[in-house]
Structure 1
């Protein structure tokens, strides 16, 4: 994975979903501004995870886009957002979160150090596997489903977000 070593101060402010993501804001403060993450934000609110993801952290969040949620079987998101499914929703969302701040260079080093596969322990207690192919990073869940990192290193005051194109799910 190629990582730019010399960055201008402005390079830290990335645009996600049409909004600038300021590294002085928390994960939640930035995510609510992204037009591409309205489903994720609604899910975080429904799961009562706003306070957690606004805390000091640091966290690494693999943030699925609205299109990623839309790719789930019809009715899945609506079902998960119901109050009676809050615990399941919390598990799925925290499966996208790793304790600590792992930027793209950190993940690339872990992949290289571990013969092409880096295991990342999620906050939910599961495992994600990071791999690289053709300069792109993929996150694979415990079911063998992969998600590509489409925007890396969106720095936050309490961690980093990597935008992904699919929802990953823990083993049922």
Structure 2
């Protein structure tokens, strides 16, 4: 697992995700939810960003449904379930039992064999630095139980 931080990054979280190339769907979801300005702001934030492959695992039609204007609130809730306030590296997160997400719900954290999982999603790329926080790639889209 890559755990190299890049404190010299000059990009914010949204632009860092876009530059990575593995988070195109996540970036599109952020835009559709109207969260770009917030996640480009001062922060700091920690984002557990589902990779494009993670979004591909969602049931057929679920993402398209979330992208409809009438479902914007649900999309915002889902995305906020992937965001934690502050700049948290994977070494810190692995010590937690739960992560208090921006949507208000706690996501369970598990550490096993030096691998961190948040609500069942494996952190596949860790500690991607940006000017206003840190990004961790995960292998599944986590769905909050309360929308």
- In the superposition, the TM-score normalised over structure 1's length comes to 0.79
- Cα shift at 1:22: 6.2
Gaps of 5+ in 2: none
Q: Where do 1:84-163 residues align within 5 Å?
A: 84-108=70-94, 110-111=95-96, 118-140=97-119, 146-163=120-137
1:27 aligns to 2:13 (yes or no): yes
Instruction: Write the deviation string for residues 115-157 of structure 1: whole angstroms up to 9, x where unpaired.
Output: xxx21110011111111111111111xxxxx100001100111
Query: Taking CA–CA contacts closer than 8 Å with sequence separation of 6 or more, which of the two structures ends up with the larger relative contact order?
Result: 2
Sort the Cα spacing of 1:22 and 1:94 in 2 relative to 1 into closer, same or farther, 3 A. Answer: farther
Equivalent position of 1:7 in the other structure: none
Gaps of 5+ in 1: 5-10, 14-20, 112-117, 141-145
SS in 1 for 2:55: helix
SS in 1 for 2:42: coil
- Cα shift at 1:36: 1.4
In 2, Cα distance between equivalents of 1:79 and 1:55: 28
In 2, Cα distance between equivalents of 1:106 and 1:35: 26
Question: Residue 14 of structure 2 contacts residue 40 of structure 2 at CA under 8 Å; is this kept in 1?
Answer: yes
Equivalent position of 1:74 in the other structure: 60
SS in 1 for 2:46: strand
Q: How many residues align?
A: 146
